[in-house]
C-alpha cells in the first residue's frame, strides 16, 4: 500500500471516528438535556405537590375550625392569617356590606396587623376598621359581588380612588403608588341574606396562574361555609342566653355578665352603671286585657330598651316585668341621664291594642363610685327601683349610698349570733368554720357572692338534722319566693324580710328529736304536737334574742297557718296571716313535694303544681296560687 492510499484510508477512519464521536456527543447532550428537563419537571411537580398539600392542609384547618364552636371572628381571623403567612400574599382582609347615613358601604371586619396595614392606616389617617369602601354601581367590587365573579385591581391607588370618594381629588402619599402590590384580587362572599361582602387578597404577582385562581375560589367558598356554620353556632348560643319573649339576655347570662364586668371594672378602674326597671301596673293590664296583652306590653318595652341601649350595653330580662341593663364605662351622672331617656321612651311607647300607656319605675347604682361589691350593687339598684315605685312610679331614683345595708348583711349577722351563742345543737368544729366564713364575708368587698355563701351555710345546717336535704335547695327556695313576692308587688322591705325568712324559717327543726324527723311511718299525735312546735321554737327561742331581725319573727311564727284556718300553731285564717308567711308556706310545700321522703316518693313537678292548685282557697289564697303559677313558669326558665 502506497503512502497516498494509507493517508486516504487514515483520513476516512478519522472521519468515521469523528462522526462516531459527534453522534455519541449528540447522544450525551440529548441525555443531559433530557435529564435536565426531567429534573426541572420533577422540581415543578414537587412544588405543585407542596402547594397542593399546603392548600389541603389550610382547607383542612378551615374545616376543623368550622366544625368547632369558635366565634366567627376567630375563624375569619385565622383564615386571613393563613393566606398571608403560608401563600406569600402581601396582605388580606375581609369586608362586609353595612349601612350608615350615607347608604351602603363595605367595612373591614377582619384584618391583619402588619407593617403594610400600618402604612395604610397612616395613608388614610384612620384606623383600619374605619377603612370604609363606597363603591359605585359598576365598580370592580360591585360587579364582582353582583355577578359572583372574581374582580381585579392592578394597583392600590386604583382601589382607593374608586372606593373612597374623599381620596380622589387629593395628593395621595408616595406609598400608594410605589409598593410591592401588583394585583388586588376581589373574591365575592355571599351567604343568602346573612352576609354580603368580599375577600381581598393583595398579591406581589401580576400574572396569576389558573390553579392559584382555582384555589382562591375554593377558599372563598370555604369562607362562605365557615360563615354559615358560625352563624348557626351563634344562633344556638344566642337561644341559650336569650329570653324567648323579648330577645333580651336572660337572667343567667345577666348574672354571669355582671361578674365579668365587675372584674373588668376593678382591673381597669373604670366604673359601670346598673339600671333596674320594673313595669308599672302590669298586673292590672293582665287582669283587664289578659296575659297575652301583658306579654305584648313586655315585648314592646323590650324593643324600646334594645333601641335605647348602646352596642356595648347588656340589657336583660331578669324575670316577669323586671329588667336590668349593664352600662360599661358610665358614671352615676351618665347613668341617670340614660335611665331618664329610657323612662321617657317607655312612657311614649304605644302598645298595639292597649288603650292606656305604660310606664316604668327605674333605679340606678354605680360600681366603683358607690360600691365594689356585686351583691351590694344589685341590692342598692333594687332598692332604688322600689323607691321609685313608692314615690309614685314612672320616675328614676339614684341609689342611696348612706342606706346600703343589705338583707344579706342582716342575715350574716343573724347566723353569726346563732352559731356563736350555740342556740342550736350543732357540731362545734363545723360551727366555728362557718363563723369564720361569715365574719370574713362581713369585711369582704371583693364582689364575691355573699348570697351563694349564705345558701351554702343554710344547706349545711339543714343537712345536719335532715340528711336528705338537697344542696342548692335554699337558693331555689329564695329565688321562687322572691318571684312570687314581686308578682304580688310587695314593698321592698317585705321582700327583703321574706328572703331572710326563707333562710331561717326551718331553724326550729334543729331542736326537734331526730327520730321524729327521720321517721318513715305516720306520726302519732304526740309526735305531731312536737312538730307543730317548731315554728314557735325557731321564732321565740332561737331568733327573738336577735334584735335586728325582729321583723322576721312574725313571718316564721305563722308560716304553717292555712288560708282556711286549718293550719298551726294558732289556727289563723285569711288576712290574719301575713302574706310573707303565706309565701313561705307555698314555697316550702312545693319543694317538700318534689323531694323524696322516707314515707313516699317524690312528686313530679307537674304533680306538685297540680296539688298546689287543688288547694286554692283552702291551704292557700287564690291570689297566692295565681302568683305561684306565674312565678313557677319564670322559675323554670332560670
Residue range 407-637, CATH number: 1.10.3210.10
Mean of the per-residue pLDDT values of the chain? 82
Q: Indicate if the pLDDT at residue 63 is higher than 60.
A: no
Q: What confidence tens digit (pLDDT) does each residue in 122-181 have?
A: 777 666 656 788 888 889 999 999 999 999 999 988 888 888 877 766 677 788 888 899
Residue 445: predicted pLDDT = 43
Helix (H) or strand (E) holding 106: strand 103-111
189: CB partners within 8 A, 6+ apart: 94, 195, 196, 197, 198, 199, 220, 223, 224, 227
Query: What residues pair up with 99 in beta bridges, in sequence order?
Result: 104
Q: If pLDDT is split at 50, 70 and 90, which confidence band does 490 have?
A: confident
At 130, list the grid cell: 374605619
In whole angstroms, how far apart are CA 83 and each of 77, 91, 199? Answer: 10, 8, 11
The interaxial angle of helices 407-420 and 428-442, nearest 10 deg, is 150
pLDDT of residue 43: 58
Q: How far is CA 54 from CA 46, 67, 208, 367, in A?
A: 12, 20, 18, 51
Of 186, 179, 23, residue with least CA distance to 94 = 186
Lowest mean pLDDT segment, chosen from 29-38, 75-84, 207-216: 29-38
- Mean pLDDT of the 625-636 span: 92
For the question of whether the overall pTM of this predicted structure is more than 0.75, the answer is no
Given a cut of 70, is residue 85 above it in pLDDT? no
Q: Which residues pair with 615 in a beta bridge?
A: none
Position 353 scores a pLDDT of 87
Is residue 211 classed as helix, strand or coil in its secondary structure?
helix
State the Cα–Cα distance between residues 73 and 49, nearest whole angstrom: 31
Q: Can you give the pLDDT at residue 27?
A: 60
Question: Is 35's pLDDT higher than 70?
Answer: no
Cell numbers given for 75: 375563624
Nearest to 546 by CA among 404, 456, 421, 405: 421
Give tens-digit pLDDT for 177-199: 888 999 999 999 988 777 889 99
Among 199, 200, 191, CA closest to 224: 191
Domain ranges of the chain: 72-240, 251-403, 407-637
The SS3 assignment for 323 reads strand
Cell of 69: 364552636
For position 591, what pLDDT does the model report? 94
Higher pLDDT among residues 617 and 636, named by residue: 617
- Grid cell at residue 548: 335586728
Helix orientation angle between 428-442 and 450-465, rounded to the nearest 10 degrees = 170
Q: How much is the average pLDDT of 265-286?
A: 91
> Could you count the other beta carbons within 10 Å of the beta carbon of residue 410?
18
Closest by CA position to 620, among listed 589, 578, 587, 586: 586
Q: Give residues with Cβ within 8 angstroms of 573, minimum separation 6.
A: 561, 562, 563, 564, 565
Looking at residues 412-426, what average pLDDT do you find?
Answer: 84
pLDDT grade for 101, boundaries at 50, 70 and 90: low
Do 387 and 516 form a contact (C-beta atoms < 8 A)?
no
Phi and psi at residue 264, to the nearest 5°:
-65, -40
The separation between CA 633 and the C-alpha centre of its own chain, rounded to angstroms, equals: 22
- Asked if residues 93 and 198 have their Cβ atoms less than 8 Å apart, the reply is no
pLDDT digits (tens, 9 = 90+) for 277-296: 999 988 888 888 888 999 99
Cα separation, 398 vs 364, whole angstroms: 5
Predicted local confidence at residue 167, as pLDDT = 73
Pairing assessment for the beta strands 322-328 and 272-279 based on DSSP bridges: antiparallel
pLDDT at 310 over 80: yes
- pLDDT value at residue 80: 76
Name the band, by pLDDT with cuts 50, 70 and 90, for residue 520.
Answer: low
pLDDT of residue 408: 86
Element (H, E) at 153: strand 151-153
Q: How confident is the model at residue 446 (pLDDT cuts 50, 70, 90)?
A: very low
Set of cell numbers at residue 311 = 352596642
Q: Which of 301, 227, 194 is nearest to 65 (CA)?
A: 227
* C-alpha cell of residue 562: 292555712
Q: What is the DSSP letter of 564?
A: T
Q: What are phi and psi of 309, to 5 degrees?
A: -80, 150
Q: Angle between the 579-593 and 622-637 helix axes, to the nearest 10 degrees?
A: 50
Query: Does residue 619 have a pLDDT over 90?
Result: yes
For the chain, what's the residue count? 638
Q: Which of 283, 329, 317, 363 is nearest to 630 (CA)?
A: 283
Could you tell me which of 198, 206, 80 has the C-alpha nearest to residue 141? 198
Classify domain 72-240 by CATH number.
Answer: 3.30.450.40
Percent of the chain with pLDDT over 70: 78
C-alpha cell at 235: 344562633
- What's the farthest any 2 CA atoms get from each other in the chain? 159
Q: What is the mean pLDDT of residues 395-405?
A: 80
* Nearest Cα residue to 535 out of 564, 487, 567, 563: 567
Q: Which comes out higher in pLDDT, residue 462 or 525?
A: 462
CB atoms within 10 A of CB 600: 9
**How far apart are the C-alpha atoms of 347 and 280, rounded to whole Å?**
11
265-274, 429-438, 491-500, 598-607, range with greatest mean pLDDT: 265-274
Instruction: Copy the grid coordinates of residue 125.
Output: 389617617
What is residue 56's predicted lDDT score, i.e. its pLDDT?
47
Phi/psi of residue 479, each to 5°? -60, -50
- Rounded CA-CA distance 322/316 in Å is 9
List, in sequence order, every residue forming a beta bridge with 249; answer none if it has no partner: 242, 316
How many other CB atoms are found less than 10 A from the CB of residue 175?
Answer: 14
Of the chain, the percentage scoring pLDDT greater than 90 comes to: 34
**Bond from prior residue into 594 cis (ω within 30 degrees of 0):** no
The DSSP output letter for 142 is: H
Is 1.10.357.20 the CATH classification of the domain at 251-403? no
| Phi and psi angles of residue 398, each rounded to the nearest 5 degrees, phi first | -85, 140
Please state, in angstroms and as integers, the Cα–Cα distance from residue 214 to each residue in 112, 141, 154, 220, 571, following that order.
Answer: 24, 19, 19, 10, 86
What does the pLDDT read at residue 22? 62
pLDDT tier, 23 (very low <50, low <70, confident <90, very high otherwise)? low
Rounded to the nearest 10°, the torsion over CA 367, 369, 371, 374 is 0
Residue 500's pLDDT band (cuts 50, 70, 90): very high
pLDDT greater at residue 462 or residue 51 = 462
Q: In DSSP terms, which residues pair with 97 in a beta bridge? A: 106
Taking only the tens place, the pLDDT of each residue in 544-591 is 777 678 788 889 889 999 999 999 888 999 999 999 999 999 999 999
Amino acid at each position: 500500500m502506497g503512502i497516498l492510499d494509507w493517508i486516504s484510508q487514515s483520513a476516512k477512519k478519522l472521519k468515521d471516528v469523528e462522526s462516531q464521536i459527534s453522534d455519541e456527543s449528540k447522544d450525551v447532550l440529548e441525555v443531559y438535556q433530557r435529564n435536565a428537563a426531567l429534573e426541572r419537571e420533577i422540581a415543578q411537580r414537587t412544588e405543585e405537590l407542596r402547594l397542593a398539600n399546603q392548600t389541603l392542609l389550610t382547607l383542612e384547618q378551615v374545616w376543623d375550625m368550622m366544625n368547632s364552636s369558635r366565634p366567627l371572628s376567630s375563624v375569619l381571623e385565622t383564615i386571613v392569617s393563613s393566606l398571608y403567612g403560608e401563600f406569600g400574599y402581601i396582605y388580606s382582609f375581609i369586608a362586609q356590606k353595612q349601612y350608615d347615613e350615607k347608604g351602603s358601604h363595605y367595612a373591614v371586619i377582619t384584618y391583619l396587623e402588619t407593617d403594610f396595614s400600618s402604612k395604610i392606616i397612616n395613608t388614610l389617617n384612620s384606623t383600619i376598621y374605619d377603612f370604609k369602601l363606597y363603591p359605585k354601581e359598576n365598580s370592580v367590587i360591585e360587579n364582582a359581588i353582583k355577578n359572583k365573579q372574581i374582580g381585579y385591581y392592578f394597583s392600590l391607588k386604583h382601589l382607593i380612588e374608586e372606593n373612597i370618594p374623599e381620596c380622589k381629588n387629593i395628593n395621595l402619599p408616595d406609598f400608594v403608588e410605589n409598593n410591592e402590590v401588583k394585583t388586588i384580587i376581589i373574591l365575592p362572599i355571599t351567604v343568602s341574606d346573612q352576609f354580603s361582602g368580599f375577600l381581598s387578597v393583595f398579591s406581589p404577582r401580576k400574572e396569576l396562574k389558573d390553579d392559584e385562581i382555582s384555589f382562591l375560589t375554593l377558599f372563598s367558598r370555604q369562607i362562605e361555609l365557615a360563615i354559615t356554620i358560625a352563624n348557626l353556632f351563634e344562633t344556638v348560643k344566642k337561644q341559650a342566653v336569650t329570653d324567648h319573649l323579648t330577645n333580651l339576655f336572660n337572667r343567667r347570662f345577666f348574672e354571669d355578665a355582671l361578674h365579668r364586668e365587675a372584674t373588668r371594672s376593678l382591673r381597669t378602674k373604670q366604673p359601670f352603671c346598673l339600671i333596674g326597671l320594673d313595669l308599672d301596673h302590669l298586673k292590672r293590664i293582665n287582669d283587664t286585657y289578659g296575659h297575652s296583652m301583658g306579654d305584648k306590653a313586655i315585648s314592646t318595652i323590650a324593643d324600646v330598651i334594645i333601641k335605647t341601649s348602646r352596642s356595648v350595653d347588656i340589657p336583660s330580662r331578669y324575670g316577669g316585668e323586671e329588667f336590668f341593663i349593664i352600662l360599661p364605662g358610665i358614671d352615676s351622672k351618665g347613668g341617670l341621664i340614660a335611665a331618664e331617656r329610657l323612662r321617657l321612651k317607655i312612657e311614649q311607647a304605644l302598645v298595639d291594642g292597649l288603650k292606656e300607656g305604660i310606664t316604668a319605675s327605674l333605679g340606678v347604682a354605680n360600681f366603683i363610685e358607690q360600691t365594689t361589691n356585686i351583691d351590694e350593687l344589685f341590692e342598692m339598684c333594687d332598692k332604688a327601683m322600689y323607691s321609685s315605685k313608692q314615690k309614685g312610679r314612672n320616675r328614676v331614683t339614684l341609689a342611696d349610698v348612706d342606706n346600703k345595708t343589705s338583707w344579706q348583711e342582716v342575715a350574716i349577722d343573724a347566723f353569726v349570733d346563732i352559731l356563736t351563742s350555740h342556740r342550736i345543737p350543732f357540731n362545734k368544729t363545723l360551727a366555728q368554720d362557718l363563723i369564720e366564713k361569715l365574719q370574713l364575708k362581713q369585711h369582704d368587698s371583693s364582689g364575691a357572692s355573699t348570697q351563694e355563701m349564705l345558701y351554702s351555710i343554710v344547706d349545711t345546717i339543714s343537712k345536719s338534722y335532715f340528711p336528705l336535704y338537697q344542696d342548692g335547695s335554699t337558693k331555689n327556695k329564695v329565688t321562687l319566693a322572691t318571684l312570687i313576692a314581686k308578682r304580688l308587688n310587695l314593698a321592698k322591705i317585705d321582700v327583703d324580710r321574706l328572703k331572710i325568712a326563707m333562710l331561717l324559717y326551718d331553724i326550729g327543726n334543729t331542736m326537734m328529736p331526730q327520730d321524729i324527723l327521720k321517721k318513715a311511718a305516720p306520726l302519732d299525735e304526740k309526735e305531731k304536737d312536737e312538730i307543730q312546735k317548731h315554728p314557735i321554737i325557731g321564732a321565740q327561742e332561737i331568733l327573738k334574742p336577735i334584735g335586728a331581725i325582729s321583723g322576721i319573727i312574725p313571718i316564721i311564727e305563722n308560716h304553717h297557718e292555712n288560708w282556711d284556718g286549718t293550719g298551726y300553731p294558732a289556727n289563723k285564717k285569711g288576712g290574719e296571716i301575713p302574706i310573707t308567711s303565706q309565701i313561705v308556706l307555698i314555697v316550702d310545700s312545693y319543694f317538700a313535694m318534689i323531694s323524696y321522703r322516707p314515707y313516699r316518693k317524690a312528686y313530679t313537678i307537674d304533680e306538685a303544681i297540680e296539688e298546689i292548685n287543688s288547694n286554692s282557697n283552702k291551704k292557700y289564697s287564690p291570689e297566692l296560687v295565681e302568683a305561684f303559677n306565674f312565678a313557677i313558669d319564670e322559675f323554670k326558665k332560670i
